């Protein structure tokens, strides 16, 4: 009997939510970096095989918001929790349960549906640490399963998918079998560019940037896509950092992004990047909506 359902993934910033989702569906849709709060939008992806269709909802890291963008990110988490049949909470705690995870546990405790705790990055810790933190989380008595995995190295992920299937109810095929995400190509392109910017930039800049794809034009006769995009930052000093000496940094961002975008689109890409300053854009509701950070 075919099963289907919605699985929401939550956790603190930078615990590996996007890495896990990408590994489970076998495609890179959510961007990844070692910077916290990389994911800003709720991103829906689809895993389908002969037995089930699982609709995953990747969410921003739960944090205390400091601006309108932060409030939007927490809104995305709350809306994803309303859609779920199964909840996956990811942690990478191995010493003691910190206040961030305690807050999330308090938040999800009254929610209906099966709850799975994922202890991620197990390749970095010994068995004794894993056993101890598992026992600590077990004391909350809200998780139906606690599973240690390594999302990055694909350790235990197949077992997780099997457990999820066990919790799903008989249901329809919500999306076509070859469907991967409900996000348009333009969104994925902007996220790829932001990922490369996060990779190249210093710590004080990443939270203050956004990507605006102004144009995507397909020249089918030449198997070429022209893309013009803006990297939006908040300060003149940040603009200088993004461009880099003799334009080296923005060229590096562009080259790295272009390679990933070409793999995504299956064609050559002419990518033009520009840097714009928009002071306090993270508190500008109009600009936030324009950039896709809209509570709808």
The answer to whether residues 7 and 127 belong to one domain is: yes
**Between these two residues, 64 and 153, which has the higher pLDDT value?**
153
Residues 28 and 67 in one domain: yes
CB atoms inside a 10 Å sphere around CB 223: 11
Average pLDDT on 219-243 reads: 90
118 and 154 co-located in one domain: yes
**Mean pLDDT on 235-252:** 92
Position 104 pLDDT exceeds 80: yes
Residue 103 lies in a domain: yes
> Would you state the pLDDT for residue 43?
79
Question: With contact defined as beta carbons under 8 Å apart, do 208 and 233 qualify?
Answer: yes
Confidence of residue 270 (pLDDT cuts 50, 70, 90): very high
Q: What average pLDDT does the structure give for the chain?
A: 86
Domains held by the chain: number: 2
CB 90 within 8 A of CB 10: yes
Q: What CATH number does the domain containing 227 carry?
A: 3.30.300.20
Rounded alpha-carbon distances, angstroms, from residue 197 to 59, 101, 180, 210: 20, 29, 25, 10
Domain CATH code at residue 77: 3.40.50.300
Strand (E) or helix (H) holding 10? strand 3-11
For residues 150 and 208, membership in a common domain is answered with no
Structure confidence at residue 256 (pLDDT): 94
The pLDDT-based confidence of 269 (bands split at 50, 70, 90) is very high
Domain of 212 in residue numbering reads as 185-290
Q: Note the pLDDT tens digit of each residue in 70-79.
A: 777 767 777 7
Summarize the confidence of residues 160-173 as an average pLDDT.
95
Whether 175 is covered by a domain: the verdict is no
Same domain flag for 54 and 100: yes
User: Quick one: pLDDT band at residue 170, thresholds 50, 70, 90?
Assistant: very high
Strand residues in 181-250 grouped as ranges (E): 210-219, 224-233
In this prediction the pTM is 0.78
Question: Does residue 32 surpass a pLDDT of 60?
Answer: no
Q: What does the pLDDT read at residue 33?
A: 52
Do 210 and 148 fall into the same domain?
no
Which residue, among 240, 242, 215, has the nearest Cα to 231 in the 3D structure? 242
The last residue of one of the domains, among 170, 198, 215, is 170
Burial of 155 (0-12, 13-18, 19+ CB in 10 A): middle
Q: What is the reported pLDDT for 225?
A: 93
Closest CA to 80 of 40, 43, 39, 47: 43
Answer whether residue 275 shows pLDDT above 90: yes
Task: Flag whether pLDDT at 257 surpasses 60.
Answer: yes
Residue 247 included in any domain: yes
Within a domain: residue 179?
Answer: no
Whether pLDDT at 37 is above 60: no
Specify the pLDDT at position 95: 73
Q: How does pLDDT run across 195-220, given as a tens digit for each residue? A: 899 888 876 676 788 999 999 998 87
How far is it, in rounded angstroms, from Cα 35 to Cα 203? Answer: 8
157 and 207, same domain (yes or no): no
Question: Residue 220 falls within a domain, yes or no?
Answer: yes
Query: Does residue 177 lie within any of the structural domains?
Result: no
Closest CA to 67 of 277, 210, 193: 210
Tell whether 33 and 165 lie within a shared domain.
yes
The confidence score (pLDDT) of residue 156 equals 94
SS3 sequence of 35-69: CCCCCCCCEEEEEECCCEEEEEEECCCCCCCCCHH
CA distance 258 to 276: 20
- Is the CB of residue 169 less than 8 Å from the CB of residue 1? no
| Final residue before a domain boundary, out of 146, 170, 194 | 170
In a domain, 19, yes or no: yes
Q: Between these two residues, 80 and 122, which has the higher pLDDT value?
A: 122
Co-location of 54 and 160 in the same domain: yes
83 in the same domain as 203 = no
223 in the same domain as 146: no
Note whether 12 and 142 are same-domain residues. yes
Q: How confident is the model at residue 63 (pLDDT cuts 50, 70, 90)?
A: low
pLDDT of residue 64: 65
- The mean pLDDT of 133-155, rounded to a whole number, is 93
Radius of gyration of the chain (CA): 20
């Amino acid at each position: 009997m075919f099963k289907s359902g919605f699985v929401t993934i939550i956790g603190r910033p930078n615990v590996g939510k996007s890495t896990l989702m990408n590994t489970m569906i076998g495609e890179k849709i959510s961007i990844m970096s070692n910077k916290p709060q990389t994911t800003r939008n709720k991103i829906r992806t689809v895993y389908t095989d002969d037995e089930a269709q699982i609709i995953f909802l990747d969410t921003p890291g739960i944090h205390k918001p400091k601006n309108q963008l932060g409030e939007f990110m927490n809104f995305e988490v709350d809306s994803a929790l309303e859609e779920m049949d199964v909840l996956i909470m990811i942690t990478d705690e191995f010493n003691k349960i910190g206040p961030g995870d305690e807050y999330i546990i308090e938040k999800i405790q009254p929610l209906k549906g099966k709850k799975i705790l994922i202890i991620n990055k197990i390749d970095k810790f010994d068995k004794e640490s894993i056993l101890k933190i598992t026992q600590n989380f077990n004391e909350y008595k809200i998780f139906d399963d606690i599973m240690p995995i390594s999302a990055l190295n694909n350790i235990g992920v197949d077992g997780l998918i099997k457990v999820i299937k066990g919790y799903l109810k008989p249901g329809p095929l919500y999306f076509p079998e070859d469907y991967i995400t409900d996000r348009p190509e333009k969104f994925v392109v902007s996220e790829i560019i932001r990922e490369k910017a996060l990779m190249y930039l210093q710590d004080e800049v990443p939270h203050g940037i956004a990507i605006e794809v102004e144009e995507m034009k397909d020249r089918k006769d030449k198997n070429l896509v022209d893309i013009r995009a803006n990297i939006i930052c908040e300060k003149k000093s940040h603009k200088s950092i993004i461009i880099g000496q003799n334009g080296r940094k923005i060229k590096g961002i562009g080259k790295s992004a272009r390679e990933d975008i070409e793999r995504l689109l299956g064609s050559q890409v002419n990518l033009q990047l520009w840097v714009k300053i928009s002071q306090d854009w993270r508190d500008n509701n109009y600009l936030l909506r324009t950039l896709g950070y809209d509570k709808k």
